[in-house]
Structure formats: structure tokens, C-alpha cells
Amino acid sequence: MSVLLPDSTRAALDMLAETRGAAVPLAGGTDLLVHWPVRLDDHERTYLDLSGARELRAYQWTDEELVLGGLTTYWDVLTDTRVWTHFPLLTHAARQVGAIQIQTRGTWAGNIVNASPAADGVPVLMAYDAIVVLASVAGQEEVSLADFYTGYKEMRRRPDQLIVAIRVPRRAHAVQIFEKVGQRRAQAIAKVGLAVTRSDAGWRVVAASMAPTVRRCPAVERLLEEQAPVHGPEDFLAAIERDVTPIDDIRSTARYRARVMANLLYHDLRGVCNFIQ
Amino acid sequence: MYRIEGLAKLAGRERYVDDLPLQDFLWGMTVRSPVPRGRIRAIRFAKDVDWREFVVVDHHDIPGPNEVLLIERDQPVLAAQYVRHMHEPVLLVAHPSRDAVRRAVRAIEVVVDPEEPVLDYRKPPRPDQVQYGSDNVFKRITIAKGDVERAFAGAAVVVGGVYETGAQEHVYLETQGMIARLEGDTVVVVGSMQCPYYVLTALMHALKRDEHRVRVVQAPTGGGFGGKEEYPSHVALHASLLALKARRTVKIVYDRGEDLAATTKRHPACIRHRTGLAQDGRLLAQDIEIVLDGGAYVTLSPVVLSRAAIHGAGPYRCDHVRIQGRVMLTNAVPYGAFRGFGAPQVQFAVERHMDVIARRLNMDPVEVRRINLLRDGDTTATGQVIRDGVDRIRLMERAVELCGYHAKRLDHARHNASDATTRRGMGIATSYHGSGFTGAGEVRLKSRVHVAGLAGGRVEVRTASVEMGQGTLTVFTRLAADRLGLAREDVLIAEPDTGRVPDSGPTVASRTVMVVGKLVERACDDLRRQLELGRETRGDTLRDAIRAWHREHRGAELIGEAVYKKPPGIEWDDTNYRGDAYAAFGWGAHAAEVEVDLRTGNMKVLDFVAVLDVGTVLAETLARGQVQGGVVQGIGWALMEECKFLGGAMANNQLTNYAIPTSADVPPIRVVFVETPFEHGPQGAKGLGELPVNGTAPAVLNAIAAATGTSPGNIPLTPEVMLDLLERGAGTAVVG
């Protein structure tokens, strides 16, 4: 195994370009190193240790947005009370990632590029319309997180690009919900994840562990926008079926996932929306 | 009293097998079967590996019989022509680099012509699936008391039920691990284990060596729960075979994935009850069928079945009982010892069934139990007269009072009528567990303990009973110190090393305190006898006498010895399964409060109370910890721990996907000990280790049944199953 040690973002981008994107960026390491002893092929690869790229730690509030850096951890967010005020779902999600050890090392950008369909951080960012800022030696580009994934573990990031920031627009939200249903109450991988927001921009409904990627659910969003009367959880099922493709796997069943998503939508929104009875 | 080795563990100084300093050694690994059943056609070594760098062992390298000696000799050390389960050991490989050996294992292909495996123990085998006897039955046991059919004829109500329990993984924190080295012509094995003499016996047999050329030493062991009862013999054999061939030290430590996939688990069970009752709720007849999944080899399954059968009827009085048990061969990884050893499975069934009965009779579950619990003078299913002075009804009432059963039930009724998304309920279960080996087992073991007087005046307790987190060191220290009037610092506990300690039997079956602890006391008495001192000689006088003895007998050993003696009046008939199955039983009552989330099917245990009578409690903090740990293990077994098998292999062999409870998943667990001394136990103590598991799962499931009006009969009861039960609506009944 070889490790590249850039001392700045610029150097990191140069190294990525030089290796033609073959180097694997390493931030918290909480995904890359989990199965290290048995992932023998990973031992042969080149890693780009980002810990020296201090600019990536930058984390700032402006009047319009919260900007997470490429190395911002869950813990950075958990310990900022302004996040709890303006983006409570980020705090909720960060609390449910692994345990404290993981929360202090794991990064939001890492959560995005790891591209797990069961990610905890991605659904809440997506529900807040987050924008991914990608950089390479060729320049910067911005992609809406909702459009970032193109398939299972496939995304609009070229191997020579790094996520240098995540921009989260500040808006007034009338509804903010995050639900993670796991096999247990901590140290769990989501069987069903759900993030819902409502702002002037409209409804955002994001599902995790329900499709090959974390994704928005346009049919459910439309149903909510239209305010058609909903009489029970079943009334969400048809829209859920259009939006996502849950599967039977080692952690749960397709049937359970769809039912639970419908139940959560119904019960969580019942007190909030008068068209849900 | 503080835990003797507690500070070392807390500070990270304790050295487990993988922490032991070791120089110039090879890492060993196991090449395993890729299919559940079939004939080995070829073994292919990849061409791009320089195999001269590796030590490779197969069945030809075994000096003695290719058998892992246990109850039977059907299990090979390394498969020769035939494999009977997924991940069965076929070859061993060793190399100085751990990465290299990991790669090498992947570069060896075991080519097998597959045959039709048996993967469901509940179905009778087809002729081409028969691999043991004429019907794949490893063992049958029948217990008969009274005349069951006549009693059914006179019963006002007959209630049936079928209950199933799944496999469970031990999840000891420390995985299996063993070091084998050669000292001259002696094979020395150091490792994580519960039973040094089981390992010794297995090594002597397959390595064809007498006890002078094999030594087994237990290293500090990070949890066992039965998973290190029989399995370490395999790891020890593998490490020894590699060490003998390489003429170098070999270390094998399983990673978690291999440990979960390849080692033993709790026996899955299917239990059928048919119960005849009087209108007032009295048990008139119990007809019980127990079927266990044994896996691919006999291993300990007949003994697990024995304990299951003996505990099958629950701690209840009933004059007419028939219990028929059998354990089946399947092509699964052999199931093995696990805390409770068959008793948790059958007590889950009988305790759930008592609640099913209560619902049918429209009675309170507490009342049904109150009517039927054993009183002193009553007999168990095997005809054992229970007369130990324990008030089992009072024990249950304590649990009922402590959990606020009656007030909570009213609260819950109000809550359940008004809350949109949750349902709450209370559940009760009683439990019992026989301490020590079943029947005449303790007599056959002939356990032996030494207490040596050392030249400086201190004493050393020498037993083969290991510390694996449960408190052996602490309790033995207390027993010897109290018996001899010594300070605890004056009592040493010998490292379990078969070269130094006598065979005091395996560290299993809730026997360490009651059986071996009693021998420690008697060996202390014998030490005094050696010194020609009376019982009143204690403390400094005794230390002086030990020192004086050594001045007179320089270089000699002063040893007090005790050998197991059956307590008077215990008689067991192993052929007919009649008589005194155990010298003593521990008794328990358990209460759970749960909340079920109707949206997700998630079940949360809100409160748990365990009231136990295990005789005198010798180390209260440790005992409380044992009970709490047992309850957590029971909650995991009941609600989340599911081994997902795919074609005979555990598919979720990672701790991310085989979920055990975290601290966030368990409630406050309140533990109360009622201490009725047992006259033949040390200071009045009985066995404790396994009992807490027995009543937990049924108490939790009974609470869920009460909360939701459903009648779940199978565990693990996952949220997926719960949501289905809820959708099918209240009153879902198990089929009788």
C-alpha cells in the first residue's frame, strides 16, 4: 500500500491528476478501513491522505447558506448549536451515525462519495437541497446532491475530483422530519431512512435503503403538494412504488421497507398536514 | 468484594492469546469446505503462488485417528474424502506473514461433487439425505410420568401450541484463538478455552500422545458462553498439527467473519405442546415434543437434548407428563454448547404456552402460574422430589410486585386505548435450571481439586475451572480464604495448566461454584488434615503450620485434595430418565415491560425485573452482572439475533448484520436475589450462570403478546415478523 500526503487542497488535486484518479481519497477512513484485514486487494492501492489539506476543514455560515468543508465531520456538526437551530435534521442524522468514535472521524463528504444506499448523512443533506462542490486541477463544478447519483455506487464525480465543500441553503422550514429504522438503536445500518422537509421551495421527501441510491421521491412529493386526502398509510404505497425499488436483503424485506416508509409518512405527517386524516 | 483480575482487564493489561508476546512464529489458517455436503474430488493449488514458502497440512498429517474425540468419534479433524457441512476444515496452511496466509487460503480450491444436503431439521429426510442411522436422528429421549392419554380424556380444556427458536451466536468478545509450540517432544497449547482437559483429551487422541507429551494452558479468555466448550479442541488440533509439521510455533486466531461462519451456535428448536387442563387452570396432562437441529456431527447434541427434555415441562406440578425429544442431523455447521444448553429453548416454549393457556382460559398469566408452580414435596417430570425450602410462588410474587405488574397493566390499558402509534404490555415468566452435569454425569467426571500449602505460608488453589469473565478467580479466592481464615491476598489461584492442575472437569453447566467450589472447600479441609490440624485452625496459626511443614519437608509439595462425592440421596436412572436429574435447581421469575411501535414493528423493552434463588450469593456485584448479561443475551435472542442461513452458510457473518443489543437497546435490569442456602453447595451456593437466560425471552414475548393481542410463537421476533402479525390483526393464534 502506498499513501500520498498532500499538505494542501491544491497539492491533493495535483496528486489526483498525476495518478489519473487512481489514488483513493482517505478522510476519516470509517468506510475504507472497516474490513481492511480481509480486503486484501485494497492493500495494493494508493491512498491520498487528506488530513494535511487543512483548508478542507473550513466550515462556515453565511447569510444564505451553511458550507460544510470536505473534511467536516459529524462531530463538528453535532457540537454546533446553530445547526440544531437551522438544520436540526443534520444533528439528528449525525447522532445516529455509528457511535461517537465514528462520529468524530466520519465526514459528510465521505458519506456522499461512499454512496451507500443506506447512508444516514446523505438523505438529510438531500432534503435540504444541498449542493456538492467538486474540484479538480481543471476547476470547480457544482452538482445538486439530488442529481449526484446515477446508479448503485455510481456518481457524478470524476476520479480526479474531490468534494471540497457542501453548500446547504438556509431556508425557513415548516416541516423537518428524519427517521432511521435500523436493526437496533445505535451502531446500526438503516433498513429504512426517511428525510422530509417543506419550505418555500416545496416538499422534499428523501428515502434511504429503498433503492440503489439514496433518492428523492417525486411521486410522494407530488402527492403532498397536491394535498389530496390521505386516509391511511396505504394511500402512500402507490407513490412509494413509483419512486423506489426496495429489495429483500440480509437486513430486511422489500415488503417491510415499503410498509414502514408508508407508516412513517402517514403518522409523522398526520399532525402536520390537515389533508392527512 | 472486588474482581481479582478486574483492574488488569480495565487497564488493558490482561493478555489474551493474541496479545501474548511471541517471536518467530507462523500464522495458521484453515481452508474450508465450500458446500454443505459432498465428496471431495480434488484440491487445487493456484499456480501463481510459491507453495514452498507455506506449511500445508491435510488429513494424512494426523498422527493418530482422524477424529475429534467427544461423545462419539464421527467428526474428523480434517475432512478426508467427504464434507458434511459448509466451512468444514479440509486443509491447514501456515506462513510467517498473516497477509500471505490469507491470500494462500484463497488460492486453494476444494473441489467437491455436491450431494443433496439436509437444511431443514423439521422435515423428515428423503432416502438420499440419510447420513446417520436410518433416519438422521442422533439421539432420542423419552420422559414418561403417569398416564398422559387417560389424563387428556378427563381434561376440560386442551390447549396446543408450536414454538420455534432460532440459532444464536455467542459473540464472545475474544474470537477463538490458540498457540501451539513444541517444548522438546511436548506439544504445548495455549489458548482461549473453557475446558483445558477436553482439549488435552482431544490432542492425546488425534496426535497419539500420552499426557506427558501434551500440555494445555488456558490463556485469559474473553468470554465463552459455551462457545469455548468443545470448539477450542478443533483450533488446538489445527495449531498443533501445523506446529508439528513446521517444527515451529503456530498461532491461529479467527477473525470475526470466520468465527461467526465456522463455529458453533445455539441449537435451533421446534417444540410442540399439548396440554390438558381442568377448568380452574390446573395442569392435568402435558404432552411435549422437542426437536433440535444438531448440525452435521453428533458433538454435544445428545447432552443438550437431555437437558432440554428434563427442563421441558417447566417448573410446574403435573402428574401426567410425556416428553419426547430428538435431535436431528442436518448439513449445518454443528450446533453446540451455549449458555442454557437446551433449557432456554424449552422454557421459551413452556412459558409462552402458559400465557397461551391463560388467554384461552381467560385467566391472568400470573394466576395460572400460581396454581401450577411446584410446591415443596411435588415431583418434576422425571419424578424428582423437590424439597429445597424455596418458595417459588413467593419468588414470582416478588417479581410481580417489583415491576408494578397490576398497576402497569391498568396504565397500559389506558395507553393502548388512546395512543396512535404504540402499544405497551407486561409479561411474566418463571424459570429453573439444574446446577451441574445431568444425572450421573458428575459422578462420571470424578472431578478433583488441589489446594497446595506454599512454602511462604500462602495457599494455591489448583483447578481446571477457568476464568472467562464470569468470576471464577474471585469466588474461588473467597471460598478458600473464608474456609482457611486467610486474607484474600494469601490465596493464589493457579493458572489452568494441565501440567499443574488436576482435572476438575469442564467450566460449563453452572457447575463451577456449586460443584468445584465445594471441592475447593473440601480440599482446604484436607490440607488442614495433612497438617494434622482441626477445623478451628485458621489464619496465622495455619500459615505458621504450613511454613513449619515446609521447613521439615524441603522441596516436597503439601497438597490438600478433594474428589467429587455425590450428595447423599441423589439417584438417577439414565436408561429410563427417572429420578434426581440434578443435585439442585436454581429458580427464577422474570418480568418485562415492552412497547411496540405500530409503525415499524420495533419492540423496546422498557423495564426488566429478575428475581432469582441461586442459594447463597458469593460475590454480589459479579452475580448481578451475570444476571444482567444473561438478560441482555436473552433479549437479543428474543428480538434481534437472527442467523440468516443461505445454502447452509451463515450469510450475515458480520457484527454489522448479526445485530446484538447495544446499551441503548436494553432497559434498566433490576436484579433481586432470594438466598435459600443449599446444604451441599459451598457456603450454601448453587449454580447461577445459565439461569438468567432461561426466563428472559418468554417474559419479553409474553409482554409483546399482551401489548398487541397477537400470539407470537417464534423467536427471534424481528420487526419484520411483528409488522406482519400486527397487520393480520389481534387474536392471531399459533396453530395447535
The rounded percent of chain B whose pLDDT value lies above 70 is 99
CB distance A6 to A53 below 8 Å: yes
Put simply, whether A15 touches B (Cβ < 8 Å) is: no
- For residue B240, the SS3 value is helix
Contact list in B for residue A259 (CB cut-off 8 A) is 723, 727
Residue type, B532: E
Closest-CA residue to B425 (of B551, B607, B248)? B607
pLDDT at A38: 83
* Distance from the A37 Cα atom to the nearest Cα atom in chain B, whole angstroms: 8
Contact list in B for residue A250 (CB cut-off 8 A) is 644, 651-652, 657
pLDDT of residue B731 exceeding 60, the answer is no
Give the gyration radius of chain A's Cα atoms.
Answer: 19
**B359-375 mean pLDDT:** 98
By DSSP bridging, strand B459-462 and strand B491-493 are: parallel
Give me chain B's average pLDDT, please: 97
Q: Which H or E run includes B302?
A: helix B301-311
Residue type, B138: F
Domain boundaries, chain A: 175-270
* Distance from the B400 Cα atom to the nearest Cα atom in chain A, whole angstroms: 28
pLDDT at B265: 98
**B560-577 mean pLDDT:** 94
pLDDT at A37: 83
Give the chain B residue whose CA is nearest to the CA of A183.
B659
Domain A175-270 has CATH 3.30.390.50: yes
What is the tens place of the pLDDT at every residue in B185-208?
999 999 999 999 999 999 999 999
Give the chain A residue whose CA is nearest to the CA of B651.
A250
Asked if ipTM goes beyond 0.90, one says yes
pLDDT at B735: 37
pLDDT at B439: 77
Give me the residue from B599, B651, B665 closest to A260, CB to CB.
Answer: B599
**B443-453 mean pLDDT:** 97
Contact list in A for residue B652 (CB cut-off 8 A) is 250
Q: How many CA atoms lie within 13 A of B330 on its CB side?
A: 26
CB contact under 8 A, A252 and B599: no
Q: Could you list the pLDDT tens digit for every one of the 277 residues in chain A?
A: 899 999 999 999 999 999 998 999 999 999 999 888 888 889 999 999 999 999 999 999 999 999 999 999 999 999 999 999 999 999 999 999 999 999 999 999 999 999 999 999 999 999 999 999 999 999 999 999 999 999 999 999 999 999 999 999 999 999 999 999 999 999 999 999 999 999 999 999 999 999 999 999 999 999 999 999 999 999 999 999 999 999 999 999 999 999 999 999 999 999 899 999 8
Alpha-carbon distance B197 to B502, whole Å?
9
pLDDT of residue B732 exceeding 50, the answer is no
Q: Chain A interface, mutation test: which of B422, B600, B727, most A Cβ atoms within 10 Å?
A: B600
pLDDT confidence band for B438 (50 / 70 / 90): confident
Q: Which of residues 147-206 of A touch B (CB under 8 A)?
A: 181, 183-189, 192
Domains, chain B, with CATH or none: 6-115+171-262 (3.90.1170.50), 269-437+577-728 (3.30.365.10), 447-563 (3.30.365.10)
Q: How many CA atoms lie within 13 A of A94 on its CB side?
A: 25
Closest-CA residue to B186 (of B207, B157, B170)? B207
- For residue B219, the SS3 value is coil
CB contact under 8 A, B601 and A43: no
β strands within B105-184, DSSP E: 108-114, 137-145, 157-165, 177-183
What is the tens place of the pLDDT at every residue in B71-81?
999 999 999 99
pLDDT of residue B387 exceeding 50, the answer is yes
* Distance from the B662 Cα atom to the nearest Cα atom in chain A, whole angstroms: 7
pLDDT at B728: 86
Identify how many contiguous H helices and E strands chain B contains and give both numbers. 19, 28
Give me the residue from A37, A251, A263 closest to B600, CB to CB.
Answer: A263
Alpha-carbon distance B664 to B685, whole Å?
33
Least confident range from A249-258, B46-55, B720-729: namely B720-729
Alpha-carbon distance B663 to B671, whole Å?
17
Contact list in B for residue A267 (CB cut-off 8 A) is 420-421, 599
pLDDT of residue B1 exceeding 90, the answer is no
What is the tens place of the pLDDT at every residue in B509-526?
999 999 999 999 999 999
Residue A179 contacts by C-beta under 8 Å, 6 or more apart in sequence? A192, A193, A194, A195, A264, A268
What is the tens place of the pLDDT at every residue in B500-511?
999 999 999 999
pLDDT at B736: 33
pLDDT of residue B460 exceeding 70, the answer is yes
Strand order in the sheet with A162-169: A60-61, A65-69, A162-169, A131-136, A139-144
Put simply, whether A101 touches B (Cβ < 8 Å) is: no
